[in-house]
Amino acid sequence: MNVFRQLKEYYWKEKRLFFISIICLACATALGLVYPNLLRFLIDDVIIAGKYEMVPYLSLLVIVVISIKGTFQFLHGFTGGRLGNRVAYNLRNALYNKLQYLSFQFYDKARTGDLMSRLTADLEAIRHFIGFGMAQIFNVVLMLGFGLAMMFSINWKLSLITMVTMPFLAFTAVRFEGKIHPAFRSIRKSMSDLTTAVQENITGVRTVKSFAREPYEIEKFAARSEDYKGTNIFTSNIWARFFPVMELFANLSIVILLGVGGHFVITEQMSVGELVAFNSLIWYIIGPMWNIGVHINNYTQSKASGERILELLHHYVHVKNVDQAVKLSPEQVKGHVKYENVTFAYPDNSPALYNINLDAPAGSVIGLLGGTGSGKSTFIQLLMRAYSLKDGAITLDGRNINELDLESLRRQIAVVFQETFLFSASIRNNIAYGNRDVPMEKIIKAAQLAKAHDFIMELPEGYDTVVGERGMGLSGGQKQRIAIARALLKDPKILILDDATSAVDMETEHEIQAGFSELMKGRTTFIIAHRISSLRHADEIIVLDKGRIVQRGTHEELLAQPGPYLETYKIQYSDRPEEAGERMLKQRWAN
């Protein structure tokens, strides 16, 4: 129960519902005992005694009992349903909140499917167990207790004899659950493989079609579908095998009851009414016995689900605010960024950055150039406090960013990533992202600066056009321009362009950059780019190689010295010899 103790804060506030639900179920269960007694009374004291005038009253009483029992059952279902859903609601929100604040380090390893199943299937198991499962287990104890007490009070000898088959029934039920549980698990796995195949096929439909791999996909799906069919048939075989056995044990106890009970009636050790009452009591007991395995399974499953949910809820948040973190107010931020002896390694990896020093005065433009894996993205992610920095310091306007309130720090920074993520919402909402009160003029202005306005206006519904999941239906360059508009609208003090213009052609890049020069005014800008054309106007260009700064200076300074920058320049401008030649000549004259 440790898991449920830890989850207490989510369900204990609903304890009123919990107790009402359990009390209602207990009352309904207790009323179930009225039938056998009414039957006994009807046979022994009304029919045999010939008091037929009492039959209508008894019938009326049965109707009253049924109605009251039904009302209690309704209340149990009503309160249990509310309880389960409220607990699931509390947990779902807590989990989602936690997911929002878990750091990059967590998401580096997280698997989407796993997180989704925690938020859906695991939560569902908890909802069902807390709403109904717990009460059902309690009810099993009550039913067995009430039923056995009544049976023993009628005839203890007959009770003992008919109970002989019950342990076998319980044992078979538990064994059945032991077999059916893994079978259900394999159905779920099989189902998940099947849906993954469909999902991947739909997401990657362009790749499938361009490689003409439809037959391969059909074959892959057919194999998984076959597996799904197989696991389902296997499961129904288990049902088919176990149910007759359980039925047999249940009916065996009825046979024993009829044989031995009949003998007791003949020898006048008990009345006919008592025998009939006994018969209905035995069914009252068989029900919970039959379901004992299901309840055990519900409990273990929801416990496992609870563990998975708690694991997420208690997951360590690597980057968080220190006590008395300083909240930045946008008007006061200037944007002076400094890196002082920054060395950083990802967990279990050798350092991605070594001893980085940089002084980026407010409003300056810093260019970052380097090969794949040289540490450019890491460089800027540290500025956002995506990971916590232990070696060296990064300061903003002279204050260590570790002391700053995380949210207020990130509000000062806007990043345009290499890969643009668009939400399945209107273009307007994608640009405004989470900012409901932005006037339309501001959105249009940002889009114009990002050179997105014209193509947006050509779309069927302009700014209200809803883009598909991940921006389907837009070209890479168009998506990127929307992302740039989104960053512009944020009006940040620090702008980071992480290979932001990689998906647009040279001409558009040029156009966007013309917009950038206006936009960059008054903002400290970091530009990561592979194209020298994107960096040439930077105040300082840093060339990274394997996490170290190997060259730094302005475009002109770097062209004047041998090194990777000049090499890259030569490669990129080799197809435009006149420009490169002109550049070299100018350089020579300058010298």
Ligand X SMILES: Nc1ncnc2c1ncn2[C@@H]1O[C@H](COP(=O)(O)OP(=O)(O)OP(=O)(O)O)[C@@H](O)[C@H]1O
| Shortest Å, Cβ 406 to ligand X | 18
Q: Which stretch binds ligand X (CB under 6 A): 137-145, 242-250, 370-378, 475-483?
A: 370-378
The neighbouring-strand residues paired with 498 are 528
| Shortest Å, Cβ 313 to ligand X | 23
Euclidean distance between CA atoms 57 and 300, whole angstroms: 47
Q: Which stretch binds ligand X (CB under 6 A): 84-92, 199-207, 369-377, 404-412?
A: 369-377
What is the three-class DSSP state of 354?
Answer: strand
Roughly what angle, to the nearest 10 degrees, separates helices 272-290 and 134-154?
A: 160
Q: Which stretch binds ligand X (CB under 6 A): 183-191, 330-338, 344-352, 394-402?
A: 344-352
Euclidean distance between CA atoms 524 and 364, whole angstroms: 5
Cβ-based nearer residue to ligand X, 270 or 527: 527
Cα Rg of the chain (Å, integer): 36
Cβ-based nearer residue to ligand X, 345 or 362: 345
Cβ-based nearer residue to ligand X, 98 or 548: 548
- The yes or no reply on residue 349 touching ligand X (CB under 6 A) is yes
Among 297, 377, 420, 551, binds ligand X (CB under 6 A): 377
What is the three-class DSSP state of 536?
Answer: coil
| Shortest Å, Cβ 539 to ligand X | 21
Q: Which stretch binds ligand X (CB under 6 A): 181-189, 266-274, 323-331, 373-381?
A: 373-381
- The yes or no reply on residue 373 touching ligand X (CB under 6 A) is yes
- How crowded is residue 344: how many other Cβ atoms within 10 Å of its Cβ? 23
- The yes or no reply on residue 419 touching ligand X (CB under 6 A) is no
| Shortest Å, Cβ 105 to ligand X | 8
Euclidean distance between CA atoms 90 and 97, whole angstroms: 11
| Shortest Å, Cβ 384 to ligand X | 13
| DSSP track, 202-265 | HHTHHHHHHTT-HHHHHHHHHHHHHHHHHHHHHHHHHHHHHHHHHHHHHHHHHHHHHHHHHHHH
3-class SS letters over 395-428: EECCEEHHHECHHHHHHCEEEECCCCCCCCCEHH
Q: Which stretch binds ligand X (CB under 6 A): 305-313, 323-331, 372-380, 513-521?
A: 372-380
What is the three-class DSSP state of 146?
Answer: helix
Cβ-based nearer residue to ligand X, 488 or 544: 544
Among 372, 398, 434, 518, binds ligand X (CB under 6 A): 372
**Residues 224 and 194: beta-carbon distance below 8 Å:** yes
Cβ-based nearer residue to ligand X, 313 or 550: 550
Under rule CB under 6 A, which residues in 162-191 are in contact with ligand X? none
| Shortest Å, Cβ 294 to ligand X | 44
| Shortest Å, Cβ 102 to ligand X | 14
Beta strands 391-396 and 337-344, pairing class: antiparallel
| Shortest Å, Cβ 437 to ligand X | 35
337: part of which helix (H) or strand (E)? strand 337-344
Euclidean distance between CA atoms 423 and 403, whole angstroms: 32
Q: Which residues of 168-184 are buried (b: 16+ CB within 10 A; e: fewer)?
A: bbbebbeebbebbeebb
Q: Which stretch binds ligand X (CB under 6 A): 47-55, 214-222, 283-291, 365-373?
A: 365-373
- How crowded is residue 297: how many other Cβ atoms within 10 Å of its Cβ? 19
Among 19, 156, 346, 421, binds ligand X (CB under 6 A): 346
- The yes or no reply on residue 370 touching ligand X (CB under 6 A) is yes
The neighbouring-strand residues paired with 582 are none
**Residues 475 and 393: beta-carbon distance below 8 Å:** no
Euclidean distance between CA atoms 175 and 178, whole angstroms: 5
Cα dihedral value 369, 375, 377, 379, nearest 10: -90
Cβ-based nearer residue to ligand X, 129 or 379: 379
Among 190, 253, 297, 378, binds ligand X (CB under 6 A): 378
| Shortest Å, Cβ 89 to ligand X | 33
Q: What are phi and psi of 399, to 5 degrees?
A: -110, 130
Residue 479's contacts (CB-CB under 8 Å, 6 or more residues apart) are: 420, 422, 471, 503
Among 352, 358, 446, 527, binds ligand X (CB under 6 A): 352
| Shortest Å, Cβ 111 to ligand X | 14
What is the three-class DSSP state of 496?
Answer: strand
The neighbouring-strand residues paired with 366 are 526, 540
| Shortest Å, Cβ 566 to ligand X | 19
Cβ-based nearer residue to ligand X, 373 or 577: 373
- How crowded is residue 155: how many other Cβ atoms within 10 Å of its Cβ? 21
Euclidean distance between CA atoms 56 and 124, whole angstroms: 47
What tokens were used for 155?
């005839």
| Shortest Å, Cβ 196 to ligand X | 24
* Number of shown-chain residues binding ligand X (CB under 6 A): 12
- The yes or no reply on residue 492 touching ligand X (CB under 6 A) is no
Under rule CB under 6 A, which residues in 3-62 are in contact with ligand X? none
Among 133, 375, 477, 515, binds ligand X (CB under 6 A): 375
- Residue corresponding to tokens 């290499």: 418
Euclidean distance between CA atoms 19 and 26, whole angstroms: 10
Among 128, 295, 376, 453, binds ligand X (CB under 6 A): 376
Cβ-based nearer residue to ligand X, 88 or 528: 528
| Shortest Å, Cβ 376 to ligand X | 4
Q: What are phi and psi of 34, to 5 degrees?
A: -70, -35
| Shortest Å, Cβ 351 to ligand X | 9
Among 155, 374, 478, 480, binds ligand X (CB under 6 A): 374
Cβ-based nearer residue to ligand X, 324 or 372: 372
Under rule CB under 6 A, which residues in 103-122 are in contact with ligand X? 108
Residues in touch with ligand X (CB under 6 A): 108, 346, 349, 352, 370, 372-378
